[in-house]
Structure 1
Amino acid sequence: MDKKTCRSVSAAAIALVVFVLFLSNSAFAQSAKDEGLNAPPPQYQIFDLGVVLMGDTASQGVGVSTGGVVVGRSVRTGGAQAFTWTQAGGIVGLPNIAGRAFCVSNSANNTGVVVGTCASTLFGTARLPIVWTNGAVSQLPLPAGETLGEAYSVNASGVSVGSINSGSLQRGAVYSGASATVITQTTAGGSFFTTAFGVNNAGRVVGIGIDPSNAARNVGMVYDIGSSAAIEVGSISGTNGAIAFAIGNGGHVVGSTMMNQGSGLPFIWTQAGGMVAIPLPTGTTQGSARGVNSSGWAVGTASSAFAIPFVYDGTNSYRVADLIPAGTGWDLSMNTSSSAQGISDSGVIVGTGVLNGAVHGYAMVPVAVNVSVSGRIFTANGFPIRNAIVSITGGNLPAGVKIQTGSFGWFSFAGLESGQTYTISVGAKRNTFARAAMIRRSGRLSSTEGGGHM
């Protein structure tokens, strides 16, 4: 009986992957080899976010929703205006709230809700937490007796997080509907939230806290809305604390880990795997990760003499300056103003750079790259199988493609679009396929074990 075993796979910006499926013909499959072919660096097209009003002196890209709604601010003499930007619609200014001339949008969801902060100075004096709903501005509620607050992140349900008050009285806060709730839950060691920087669709909140037994130490905090306690993300060797800046819908938390108030190193954290250092881009000595998407790709800014925005694909860190075409006029590596602040689920990177001498926000949109997937079909005894039918569907192949293996069991599919998901299936007479043996791992394709019998 002819059986087929399928597994969804992703062709992730690779040049060639050797895909080995072990077949069983009354035999057991062996381990497949990880060919160790790293993905080449991703490539991007860069867009200028522009400014809201002609005459504005600068703009900054601050974040991006999972679906690609960019947020930031456009700066002018005596004021700053929040905005959204999309690739289809360009920049759209959001109204300032009365009495506050300096506003910034920090986060957006995909249904028209944007949150941020408005203040009386560019540096946050007399700041208030703000929400824009389909372009209409209003202040988020503050707890009774409080006059200061800020909002940093909003999820798909419209729940946003930030902080209230300032100085030693500053505390993390959750804004939901017509109420604001101070996060009073502490870690087992008594550390408490001072600012909540991120919230995902599951209601998990991340930010920074204080350890009452060592006020010099930063505490990276994680709290699930409605739970009775918070937890700490920990630190890596040589450090004793962290700041958690963002969380994705996949549960990945990113930020910076450091010794007390010293310079930091970027990290990524998961509940299952704990904290892992993100490699610094070439030529830098310190940095911080500031945004993460649902797949665990992260962005941030490292530094040496200059600010170096980077993107991390789960394996490698790349300087974003190296991922855009030459001759664009953008400087993303030879100044102290550049940053990478957010990354959408489709890989759009948002931050700030210098364009022909002016500080402007940018959006970097991935460019599809054609890749190939090749492989070889063996029996469990190591003999190649000719004339096996190998099928691939998905991605940019709505009708699918079928080919036969050659005399030595080889097959190859060309013209696949990177970043897409494909399903490969194999069938051959007198052979049963034990298990598909391809996975997507950190921007590469590799083999894994497969086994079975007839």
Structure 2
Amino acid sequence: MTKTIFPTLIYFTVGIPLWVLNSQTPATATVFFQGLGDLPGSIFSSDSSAVSADGSVVVGASFSGNGLEGEAFRWTKETGIVGLGDLPGGPFVSAAFDVSGDGSIVVGASFSAASSSSTVIPPTEAFRWTAETGIVGLGDLPGGGFSSFASGISSDGSVIVGNSNGPSGTEAFRWTAETGLVGLGDLPEGGFSSQAVRASADGSVIVGGGISDSGIEGFRWTAETGVVGLGDLPGGAFFSRAADVSADGSVIVGRSASANSRGSGQIGNFSGTEAFVWTEETGIVGLSDLPGGAFFSRAFGVSGDGSIVVGQSEGFRGQEPFIWDRVNGMRPLLDLLTNDLGLDLTGWTNLVAQDISDDNSTVIGFGINPDGNTEGWIARLTPASVTVPERSSVFSQLAVIGVISVASALKRKLKR
């Protein structure tokens, strides 16, 4: 039986064609797909959450002999999967949710002595890990019950983002070594609630979700603008949520309710959403979904230049990972891996793509391995020495996609 890793914390986690891959990927990179293994001493189960800029470091959580609810890990091809321990004083639980660009800094959440003295559920404390310091707790925002959760880090490692309990409720935070945790506020007019999930390369742009007067809404934060809502796709119940942001902060991906999707798209109802890409020029643009199943898509990760998106959709195989680019639109990741790249995924099922490296070279996620266990995986894609088109073409083609997405969805429905 498959058991979800770290059930208390996981609630908050919120073919690439060869000619669109980043020309800066090393030509010596080897194409491969492999499971990451798991930590020893317990039930076999691991779940990868994020990957470093060049695809060499993966982080996540795994069951281990140290605790029944999971332990944060860091994986490289040289070391394999290595447990990171947890914060002292509480029950042994930790999970990693993001990693710096060079792979040297890992962030996540853990039980701790401070969090375990609180009645807040889940009573977690955000952490920062390096090889030199080990896991170090970041504390929380003052004025509320003790709780904090780190979900993202800037590529340069200087800024950590997440959410904590403040005096008004759950609030997104931005952490630096100089300032500690600083609350970001929330969207206006709605009930007070905000959660930050990812940051741009230098930490100047932060994305997440909150509650506005319209409903649950994704946001973009900068020091100049504060928290600004992204809106949502037209035609459905109001809902949007940001999941990731490009290196320069100009491209945001996530999910939204839309005219195409069914349901409300609320937390837990992943079937009622459509993946989107947002830019300042285009606003939110839906990416449609894979053909063959009920309408559903959700974006989880975007490459550093904003040109490639990975996530989950429902196609002929049921729910499966997708990869999107501006040339080919959305396609099944499995088709790229098996048909285009010739990789052997025999026995793997229920794959979920969680992230893509900034250099476009590597996708990571989790699935059911040939032995029937949940296992994190990494897929290294083919490098190419072809120039990626200018960003302006991304924007113009996104606008076209927005116009045709509803029509294409209706066409598929009529053929069923």
Q: Same fold (TM over 0.5)?
A: yes
Q: Does 1:331 align with 2:348?
A: yes
Deviation at 1:339, TM superposition (A): 1.4
The CA distance in 2 between the partners of 1:131 and 1:222, in whole Å, is 23
Secondary structure of the residue that 2:292 maps to in structure 1?
A: coil
Choose the corresponding residue for 1:71, options 59, 63, 85.
59
Deviation at 1:228, TM superposition (A): 4.6
Equivalence map 1:6-405=2 (5 Å): 13-14=18-19, 45-68=32-55, 69-76=57-64, 78-98=68-88, 99-111=90-102, 112-119=104-111, 125-134=122-131, 136-146=134-144, 147-155=146-154, 156-165=156-165, 169-177=169-177, 179-184=180-185, 186-187=187-188, 194-202=194-202, 203-211=204-212, 213-214=213-214, 217-224=215-222, 226-239=223-236, 240-250=238-248, 251-258=250-257, 259=264, 261=266, 263-284=272-293, 285-296=295-306, 297-303=308-314, 306-314=318-326, 315-325=328-338, 327-332=344-349, 335=350, 338-347=351-360, 348-356=362-370, 357-368=372-383
Secondary structure of the residue that 1:234 maps to in structure 2?
A: coil
Q: Is the 8 A contact 2:184 2:226 kept in 1?
A: no
The CA distance in 1 between the partners of 2:281 and 2:252, in whole Å, is 12
Deviation at 1:71, TM superposition (A): 1.0
Deviation at 1:287, TM superposition (A): 2.1
Q: 1:328 to 1:166 in 2, by over 3 A?
A: farther
Q: 1:110 to 1:134 in 2, by over 3 A?
A: farther
Q: Is the 8 A contact 2:38 2:62 kept in 1?
A: yes
Q: Is the 8 A contact 1:207 1:243 kept in 2?
A: yes
The CA distance in 2 between the partners of 1:313 and 1:44, in whole Å, is 19
Q: Could you tell me which runs of 5 or more consecutive residues in structure 2 were left unpaired when the two chains were aligned.
A: 1-15, 21-29, 116-120, 258-263, 395-416
The CA distance in 2 between the partners of 1:221 and 1:197, in whole Å, is 10
From the two aligned structures, give the one with the greater strand fraction.
Answer: 1
Deviation at 1:343, TM superposition (A): 0.4
Structure whose CA Rg is larger: 1
What's the counterpart of residue 372 of structure 1? none
Q: Deviations over 1:294-330 (max 9, x none)?
A: 1221111123684311111234212222222364334
Q: Deviations over 1:51-91 (max 9, x none)?
A: 12254420001111223221111124613111112234332
Deviation at 1:138, TM superposition (A): 0.8
- Code of the residue aligned with 1:102 in structure 2: it is V
The CA distance in 2 between the partners of 1:84 and 1:361, in whole Å, is 12
Name the stretch that deviates more: 105-114 or 72-81.
72-81
Deviation at 1:170, TM superposition (A): 1.0
Deviation at 1:166, TM superposition (A): 8.8
Secondary structure of the residue that 2:233 maps to in structure 1?
A: coil
Q: Is the 8 A contact 1:218 1:260 kept in 2?
A: no
Number of equivalences? 331
State the TM-score, normalizing by the size of structure 1.
0.66
Q: Is the 8 A contact 1:299 1:309 kept in 2?
A: yes
Q: 1:58 to 1:167 in 2, by over 3 A?
A: farther
The CA distance in 1 between the partners of 2:385 and 2:368, in whole Å, is 29
Identity across matched positions, percent: 24
State the TM-score, normalizing by the size of structure 2.
0.72
The CA distance in 1 between the partners of 2:49 and 2:167, in whole Å, is 24
- Code of the residue aligned with 1:300 in structure 2: it is G
From the two aligned structures, give the one with the greater helix fraction.
Answer: 2
Q: Deviations over 1:362-403 (max 9, x none)?
A: 1110024xxxxxxxxxxxxxxxxxxxxxxxxxxxxxxxxxxx
Q: Is the 8 A contact 2:256 2:265 kept in 1?
A: no
Q: Could you tell me which runs of 5 or more consecutive residues in structure 1 were left unpaired when the two chains were aligned.
A: 1-10, 16-42, 369-417, 423-437, 443-454
